Structure 1
Amino acid sequence: MTESVPVRCPACRREHLYAAPSYPCACGAPVAAPLDPRTAPTAVTHRVWDEQWIAVDCPACGRRAHWPQPELDCPCGTVLRIPVARAGAERTAPTGTEAGAGAQPWSDAGPAAPDDPAATAPPRSTARPDAAAPHTASGAEAEAASGARARPPVPAAGPSHGPEQRRGVFRPVAIRTARDAVTVAALYLRWLGYPDVRRADQRPPHGIGLAARGMLAQVDPTACRASVRDVECLWLTAMTESAGCVYFSLTGYAPDARDRADSLGVPLFVLGPTGTPLPANGPARDLAGTDPH
């Protein structure tokens, strides 16, 4: 277990006992940010990309990975950023030079954070973006009308290991916020064999887009079920990049979205509150290697 440190809120002066959450390293060992009890916490008033994630070395294998900056929600409404010891952690966001220009890459064990979930996960509504959606919808409808058999895109480079190989047990992270949902999706993609997860260059109509070599993913942490158009947009975007795709939803999928995903071969996962992605269709069971057949 990680060591607990006393934390005093600078706004209401209330004292808390805080322990940093632990996350699973690629080697399977738990990793927790080393806290600095000698430094006072600070109130989060404005979120900056570089301040959302810190680099921590795994105590078991020495692998350096990026994990969420420890934070605590005080009952008074103040969000506290918990200081970490510089000897064991370093606040640094991965740069584009580590995994290719133009991308905010994630390390082998964790993601470079999206912006504030309230900003990156806009509320669902009937209004749709007018920039790319008309073209994607018409393309999908034309493909369906043509009667051609839909095939999922072939990834440019497959995962580092397949379902048939042993990859250990996935270690979930409890989902309480939209940011947790993105973290779980990133960890699951790494568990599937895509270590170079980063935020996608193109933002999807809903939720947050993730990308890895040969794979695109959409994480939808909103309270509405994913629609058939959401699935089609993801699939068509993956087609243009010659990549595979996978959809993660916190709420689930509309019946017609499931049917369309089955015909296109798009894996659908539902993010449970315990942090375990649950396959919602046949392609997802195949991808996860849990197909009973």
Structure 2
Amino acid sequence: MESVPVHCPACRREHLYAPPVYPCACGAPLVPPLMQDARPEPITHRTWTDDWVTVRCPSCERQDQWPQPELGCPCGTVLRMPVHPVDAAAPGADGGPVADGGPNGSRPAHIPLPRTATAARPSFRPVTIRTARDAVTAAAMYLRWLGFHDVVQPEARPVSGIDLRGAGVVAQVDSSTRATGLRAVECLWLNGLSASAQSVFFSLAGYADDARARADRLGIPLFVMDLTGCPQPVNAPADELITIGT
């Protein structure tokens, strides 16, 4: 399926969006059939059950559930892309080219590798997020991909709220259904300051305006993640972290 234009209602940016490609058990690529006549809606409330969509394989007719296609805008807004229900999908509508990386667990086509990543860095392999614990795992993998070492997650979340610690880094992962607020960003910064470590924040629902403004002033990289588990930078410190790594 070709890219479609998408307008962000929050910041009015225009994007070209290509839907993700999922691997069917038979090996065929699956592309969720987008409802191009319907407007994408900002995600203000998440439920795990509503964030999955059924897609029919054009080759074997198998129906499986996959993450609902989403687009993360640099302004921090996450847009849910409407998908035709299986019964309403036109024959062949969910066919399309395979995303980079092939049909075996590739990253989604609409979230490319960080545009400033160095050529020497291998492709990031995300993991599908189905639970809050999966979100922490995906963030840990991403930090290791950036070059941080000894990144670990505790069995139980500590009182500090820090989900991940590594050599020179502390990170928090907000898997709630609300945009991350100012207090969470400030608490992470204080933890990073006391540990003399880089603070990094990951959120599934994006960030409140005041939280993002404070993160920009404090130099805290902010990332948003969709259910495919691929973080996307939403501020300049995040872009810089991707550029230089560790």
Which structure has the larger Rg?
1
Higher relative CO (Cα under 8 Å, sequence separation at least 6) belongs to 2
Q: Could you tell me the TM-score, scaled by structure 1's length?
A: 0.41
**TM-score (normalised: structure 2):** 0.48
